[in-house]
Amino acid sequence: MRIAYHDLETDVDTMSRNANNWPQIYRRVYPTGRVKWVVDLGKQGNKKRDRRRFDTRAEAEGFAQQARVARADQGGLPFALPPSDQAAAVKLYELLKLHGIDFNKVHEHYATEVIPYLSAPTVAEIVAALIQDVESKRRAATVASLKSILGDFCHRFGNEKITDIKPRQLEEFCFRPGLGVGNSSGTKRNRWAKVSQLYNFAIKKTWATKNLALSLDAPPSNDDHEPAFLTIDEVRRLLAVADEFGLLGYFVLAIFLGIRPTEILRLDWSDVHTDDGFVVVYAAAAKIHMRREVPINPTAAAWLADCRRPSGPIVDAKNFQGRFEAARAAAKFMVWPKDVMRHTFATNHAAAFKNPVETARQMGHIGGILLLKKHYVAYIPETVAHEFWALRPNDLPVASAKEAA
């Protein structure tokens, strides 16, 4: 036979229904005859009604009074939390107390620094918005530099929120140590400046509250830094994947012949005379509008044998920038300093052949030998330069962009 619950203390129940006596307290007798005192806290948000049960009326009144004090003093109901949440709140309180952090500080931080930006765009989306904003306001070269550096930034943080990036992660990106590409003070400062520009844009759009880049010590501007260049290992990595993106000829002419990338984009394969041993850079294609003939050295000849065609553009203009960035990513380049391929040719040519005048002539450089040495030629041992000029297609491991990635 089923026994119904009974309220045996109707005076208490009636008293508790008064709004001034929240929460309700009443005694309940269960089918087994067991008696419990119930504190009814009501519904908490969208959750079901919260009731707490005690063995004595005194315990129930004590808990109810704690809940009233909490509601009055803190504007909330910590004692109305489920037991599991109460335990978590106690652990959090003890952790914060250990480090001298006030609960209100945590509330303020999440209310102002975290919660408002949960719906903010990802880093990749912010970068895309910034590029779109500056394309009509800045020179093409400036936009290209911004795309290059922030493209690498997206490769590292693209799916994250800009407010989630930690100072140590940002410092590693901007000022990472090591040898090879992207480690001159000027390059590091340029990365830092472009990332700072991204943060300022995010702040302007209310997607962030502070410029994290400003918390880092920017490297000093130094006009006497060594030009950044590709190491032999970096050249191998790049050439190993270049053909998959239709860019082998582009990289060969830039790295082994020192022809400007912008000039290569205007050249046709019919301008590459492998039988006669030179490439003609016509005035219409040259930066300085002056025709020059660039001799094809044995290294370039060996690589051109694998990619040269009778005619047609050396570089397909269709989605060139996308393929260029994909090739760099496949070769695992986080950064790509300005003119790095020209610097690579100049550095290795000057070290191996000891003729800066010829180096400048082949590059179409008209700024003088001192300017060439200061801004294009870094120091490397002659033995390293000879190793560079000994690079051949057969020296590369079989690799693909998929494997490299």
Confidence of residue 390 (pLDDT cuts 50, 70, 90): very high
Q: Which comes out higher in pLDDT, residue 304 or 375? A: 304
**Distant-in-sequence, close-in-space partners of 158: CB < 8 Å, separation ≥ 6:** 122, 123, 124, 127
Q: pLDDT by residue (tens digit) across 172-222?
A: 888 765 434 445 666 777 888 899 999 999 998 889 888 898 888 655 555
Cα–Cα–Cα angle for 130, 144, 347, rounded to 5 degrees: 145
346 in Cβ contact with 359 (< 8 Å): yes
Q: How far, in Å, CA of 68 to CA of 70, rounded?
A: 5
**Distant-in-sequence, close-in-space partners of 198: CB < 8 Å, separation ≥ 6:** 126, 127, 130, 150, 153, 162
3-state secondary structure of 268: strand
Supply the pLDDT for residue 216: 80
163 in Cβ contact with 143 (< 8 Å): no
Q: How far is CA 75 from CA 48, 81, 85, in A?
A: 20, 14, 17
Residue 37 backbone phi and psi in degrees, to 5: -100, 125
Asked whether the predicted pLDDT for residue 247 surpasses 90, the reply is yes
Confidence of residue 100 (pLDDT cuts 50, 70, 90): confident
User: Residue 23 gets which letter from DSSP?
Assistant: S
The candidate with the shortest Cα–Cα distance to 259, out of 368, 336, 362, 328, is: 362
Q: Which comes out higher in pLDDT, residue 322 or 137? A: 322
* Mean pLDDT to the nearest integer, 228-240: 93
Provide the residue count of the chain: 405
Confidence of residue 80 (pLDDT cuts 50, 70, 90): low
* Mean pLDDT to the nearest integer, 145-150: 90
Q: What are 16-24's contacts with CB under 8 Å, separation 24+? A: 16/40, 22/68, 22/71, 23/64, 23/67, 23/68
Find the helix or strand (DSSP H, E) in which 153 lies: helix 140-157
**pTM as predicted:** 0.47
User: Residue 373 gets which letter from DSSP?
Assistant: H
* Mean pLDDT to the nearest integer, 128-133: 92
